């Protein structure tokens, strides 16, 4: 198969750029607060890029399997929107970047009406988990997993239950957030049941190829370019991509928007999902994180590609 020109150019240069970025892993640290995540290979860096014709290039440790963590929040947001519509969702979660840490509680206490500022910080994602339809936590989790499978075109996605349990056992801050939300009247359900759903979708295991495929669906406005099936209403994808631009990279979202200019979402297992609108889906993994919680090498690699290929949307 002959690669398109862009992918062919990428294929040639990718190994070099990847190694240059990999050097930065020495400055980062794997996530310490979830013990299972701390075990990840610190020097790893992998990337997978997929275009609308199904062509792909990859480099580095692209075979690494890792948990989605916060990347899953983009997709639970989509499912919550499909389940409830915009009005219900945005009565419980705001639309603004916060400038605070992803697990901060300051604005819940300080800013009326005490709802999370956006669905990509922890507080917001916990509320989103509570909005997923399903009679039990198991049914909710099952619906979320099937949705992830559909978007990734990978029916074999499943949980890393060691990570799920490790996170549940140590997630005191998330419990604190959830009880605060319950006190503010934003969370109706039982806290442990909501968190069970939340920890499960955070612990779904993927590879860079899975993220690239999921990103490509977003890049194509919710339509799977391979099957031509509209998996998510375009308006909801637009909303998700906007949030990825304004708050997808934790407290470094603004910086990343200026450097790369692409919608993206990172997770503390080192994954980053990004896309070039209308053209490419991209999955990256590099478990060494910078001080903001983003893959230090992954951010550098995406910024390099965006600069080299002039991908910024701005």
The site for a second copy (CB under 8 A) is made up of 94-100, 104-107, 109-110, 117-118, 172-173, 175-180, 182-183, 191, 237-239, 241-243, 245-247, 251-255, 257-258, 261, 263, 277, 312-314
CA–CA distances in Å: residue 8 to residues 2, 54, 97, 216: 8, 14, 37, 18
- Among the options 250, 276, 284, 299, which is catalytic? 250
In angstroms, the CA 83 to CA 113 distance is: 24
Nearest approach in angstroms of CB 157 to a second copy is 26
Name the one residue in this structure whose structure tokens are 């928007």: 257
Residue 237 marked in a binding site: no
| Cβ nearer to a second copy, comparing 176 with 227 | 176
Residue 295 near residue 271 (C-beta atoms within 8 A): yes
- Among the options 21, 57, 72, 73, which is catalytic? 73
- DSSP SS3 for 58: strand
Q: Is 250 in the active site?
A: yes
Helical H runs in the chain? 5-22, 35-38, 72-92, 106-110, 122-131, 137-152, 161-170, 172-183, 191-202, 208-219, 234-247, 253-259, 296-309
Nearest approach in angstroms of CB 240 to a second copy is 8
58-90: burial string, b at 16+ Cβ within 10 Å, e else: bbbbbebebbbbbbbbbbbbbbbbbbbeeeebe
Closest residue by Cα to residue 75 from 278, 241, 313: 241
| Cβ nearer to a second copy, comparing 62 with 197 | 197
Q: Is 73 in the active site?
A: yes
Residue 122 marked in a binding site: yes
Nearest approach in angstroms of CB 61 to a second copy is 29
| Cβ nearer to a second copy, comparing 52 with 191 | 191
- Among the options 58, 70, 253, 306, which is catalytic? 70
Residue 198 marked in a binding site: yes
Nearest approach in angstroms of CB 80 to a second copy is 15
| Cβ nearer to a second copy, comparing 205 with 255 | 255
Q: Is 198 in the active site?
A: yes
Residue 167 marked in a binding site: yes
- Among the options 93, 268, 284, 299, which is catalytic? 268
Which residues are designated catalytic? 70, 73, 198, 250, 268
């Amino acid at each position: 198969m002959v690669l398109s020109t862009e992918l062919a150019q990428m294929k040639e240069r990718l190994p070099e750029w990847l190694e240059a970025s990999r050097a930065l892993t020495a400055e980062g640290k794997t996530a310490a607060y979830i013990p299972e995540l701390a075990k990840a290979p610190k020097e790893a860096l992998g990337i997978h890029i997929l275009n609308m014709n199904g062509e792909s290039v990859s480099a580095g440790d692209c075979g690494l399997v890792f948990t989605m963590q916060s990347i899953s929040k983009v997709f639970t947001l989509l499912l919550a929107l499909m389940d409830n519509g915009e009005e219900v969702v945005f009565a419980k979660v705001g639309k603004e970047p916060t400038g605070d840490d992803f697990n901060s509680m300051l604005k819940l206490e300080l800013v009326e009406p005490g709802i999370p500022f956006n669905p990509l910080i922890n507080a917001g994602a916990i509320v989103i988990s509570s909005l997923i339809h399903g009679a039990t936590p198991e049914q909710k989790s099952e619906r979320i997993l099937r949705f992830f499978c559909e978007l990734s075109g990978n029916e074999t996605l499943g949980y890393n239950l060691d990570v799920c349990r490790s996170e549940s056992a140590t997630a005191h801050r998330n419990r604190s957030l959830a009880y605060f939300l319950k006190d503010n009247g934003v969370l109706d359900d039982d806290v442990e049941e909501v968190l069970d759903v939340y920890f499960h979708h955070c612990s779904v295991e993927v590879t860079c190829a899975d993220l690239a495929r999921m990103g490509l669906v977003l890049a194509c406005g919710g339509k799977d370019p391979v099957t031509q099936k509209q998996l998510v209403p375009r308006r909801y994808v637009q909303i998700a991509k906007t949030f990825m631009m304004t708050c997808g990279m934790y407290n470094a979202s603004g910086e990343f928007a200026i450097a790369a200019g692409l919608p993206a979402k990172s997770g503390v297992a080192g994954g980053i999902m990004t896309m070039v609108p209308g053209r490419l889906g991209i999955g990256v993994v590099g478990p060494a994180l910078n001080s903001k919680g983003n893959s230090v090498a992954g951010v550098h690699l995406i910024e390099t590609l965006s600069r080299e290929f002039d991908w910024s949307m701005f």
